Chain A
Amino acid sequence: MDFGFTDDQRDIQRTARDLLSERAKPERVREHAESGRSDSELWRELCELGWPGIAVSEEYGGQGLGRIELSILCEELGRSLAPVPFLASVLAATVIEHSASEAARERWLPGIASGETLGALGVAVDGTAELVVGGAEAQVIVLVEDDGTGRVLAAEEAEVEKIASIDPTRTAARVSAGDGGEALDGDVAAGVDRALVAVSSELVGVCDRALEMTVAYVKERKQFGVPVGAYQAVSHRCAQMLLETEKARSTAAFAAWTADADPERLAEAAAMAKAAASDAGREVTASAIQAHGGIGFTWEADVHWLYKRAQLDAVLLGGAGSQRARLAGILADRVRASAAA
Chain B
Amino acid sequence: MDLTFSPQETAFRDELRAWLAANAPAPEPSDGGEDAHYAWRRDWQRRLYDAGWAAPAWPTEYGGRGASLTESAIYFEEIGRARVPMAANVLGLLLGGPTLMVWGTPEQKERYLPPILSGEEIWCQGFSEPDAGSDLASLKTRAVKDGDDWVVTGQKVWTSGAQYSKWCMLVARSDSEAAKHKGLTYFLMDMEQDAVQVRPLRQITGEAEFNELFIEEARIPDANIVGGVGNGWKVALTTLMNERAGLGFALQIRLRQLLDDLIAKAAERGMLERYGDALAELHVRCESIRLLAWKGLTDVERYGQPGPEGSLVKWLWSDTNQRLTQLAVDIVGAEALTSGESWSYELLRARGNTIEGGTTEVLKNIIAERVLGLPRLKVAA
Residues on A lying within 8 angstroms of B by beta carbon are 1-6, 9, 68, 211, 215, 218-219, 226-227, 229-232, 235-236, 238-240, 242-243, 246-247, 250-251, 253-254, 257, 261-262, 272, 275-276, 321, 323-325, 327-329, 331-332, 334-336, 338-339
Contact = CB atoms under 8 A, between A and B. Distances in A.
A250 B288 contact: yes
B284 A327 contact: yes
Contacts of A5: 1
A143 B288 CA distance: 31
Interface in B1-41: 1-6, 9
B294 A1 contact: yes
Given A1-B298, A246-B309, A324-B281, A335 B272 contact: yes
B287 interface: yes
Given A215-B373, A250-B291, A327 B280 contact: yes
A10 B308 CA distance: 22
Contacts of A231: 377
A245 to B, nearest CB: 10
A301 B263 CA distance: 45
Given A229-B374, A272-B283, A242 B276 contact: no
Nearest to B313: A246
A239 B263 contact: no
B267 A332 contact: yes
A226 B1 contact: no
B316 to A, nearest CB: 6
B372 A251 contact: no
Contacts of A339: 267
Nearest to A227: B375
Given A239-B372, A331-B283, A1 B288 contact: no
21 contacts: A1-B294, A2-B301, A3-B297, A3-B298, A215-B374, A230-B377, A230-B378, A232-B361, A236-B365, A238-B372, A239-B363, A242-B371, A243-B315, A246-B309, A247-B284, A247-B288, A250-B295, A325-B277, A325-B280, A329-B276, A335-B263
Interface of B: 1-6, 9, 70, 263-264, 267, 272-273, 276-277, 279-281, 283-285, 287-288, 291-292, 294-295, 297-299, 301-302, 309, 312, 315-316, 361, 363-365, 367-369, 371-378
A1 B2 contact: yes
Nearest to A250: B291
B364 A236 contact: yes
Contact of A272 (B287, B302, B315): B287
Given A2-B2, A239-B367, A251 B276 contact: no
Contacts of A251: 284, 287-288, 291
B279 A331 contact: yes
B294 A328 contact: no
A238 B291 CA distance: 22
Q: Which of B4, B277, B288, B316 has the most CB of A within 10 A?
A: B288
A264 to B, nearest CB: 13
Given A232-B365, A254-B3, A331-B263, A218 B276 contact: no
A100 to B, nearest CB: 28
